[in-house]
Amino acid sequence: MKFGISYSTPHHGVDPGKLVAFARLAEECGFESLYVPEHVVLYPGAAIGPFELPPTLPYADPLDALTFVAAHTERILLGTGVLLLPYHHPVTLAKRLATIDVLSRGRMRLLTVGLGALPGEARAMGVDFAARGRRADEAIDVLRLLWAGGEDGVSHAGEFFDVDRLCSYPKPHGATTLPIHVGGSSRAAARRAGLRGDGFYPGGRLRPEEVAELWELARATAAGAGRDPDALEYTRFGAIDMPDGRVEELAAQGVTRLVVSPSTTEPDELCAFAERFRLRG
């Protein structure tokens, strides 16, 4: 089991010293990865289900924040949880992600993408809320095309993106692509993970039986598309105070990574977790 940790700027704030200290501590404690969430914009009345989001929540740009983290750490992998893919153009996004990966020497390897659940956010970005799933699917294809393409350029003519003989450099560090994990709580997200993803990260507001059903759907979709379902990574949320037996239980379900969300950035909570699960190598 691998263990990641989430730094929620809406909860912990955007003080640069605090972020750096947290990232360095997580790395020292043995966490594999650090995740940062995204919302591009909020507005009064924005809500996800019954939960209203205060419009003043300080969601930092996740890729800028991860670049900053990369400059102050050495080993910890960089993740998004989740990047709202429909609101990013794949041509510029391919460049940004490859650049972070190069500058971090191959640590931008846990990109997790989702669709977003706020119609007002989609309107602000000029995106048709109803079409954001198709837009995300096509964006994944274009990202991989650009990363793999050579000096003759690559072309794509689709519903949302039209590129002609484009060359995108630099390439990811020592690779021709970057892993793309799919996050979400819907059957469509599970199918997207099976068809296009390198991993699946289901949402946290699901009953255990619902999560199990989505994971099986992702695997079945991968197999039906001629992909190896065993190659899919399976990431789940984990509580910082989870009982010891919970890790073994999740591992038996096929989970390969747990991402915990600490209530504080103080060292005690992170160090205690690391000691309990022997994260330090």
Q: Measure the N-to-C terminal CA separation of the chain; round to a whole number of Å.
A: 14
pTM check: above 0.85: yes
Distance CA 147, CA 161 (A): 16
Distance CA 176, CA 96 (A): 15
**Averaged pLDDT of the chain:** 97
Q: What would the mean pLDDT of 259-273 be, rounded to a whole number?
A: 93
The two tokens of residue 224 are 């039906």
Phi-psi region of 108 (alpha: psi -120 to 50; beta: other; left: phi over 0): beta
pLDDT at 281: 63
Cβ atoms < 10 Å from Cβ of 67 = 17
Phi-psi region of 174 (alpha: psi -120 to 50; beta: other; left: phi over 0): left
Query: Given a cut of 80, is residue 36 above it in pLDDT?
Result: yes
The fraction of the chain above a pLDDT of 90, given in percent, is 96
Q: Enter the DSSP assignment of 110.
A: B
- pLDDT for 168-206, tens place per residue? 999 999 999 999 999 999 999 999 999 999 999 998 789
- pLDDT for 206-228, tens place per residue? 999 999 999 999 999 999 999 99
* Residue 222 CA, distance from chain mean position: 19
Backbone angles phi, psi at 163, to 5 degrees: -125, 145
The fraction of the chain above a pLDDT of 70, given in percent, is 100
**Neighbouring residues of 194: CB distance < 8 A, sequence distance ≥ 6:** 200, 217, 218, 219, 220, 221, 222, 223, 224, 225, 227, 229, 232
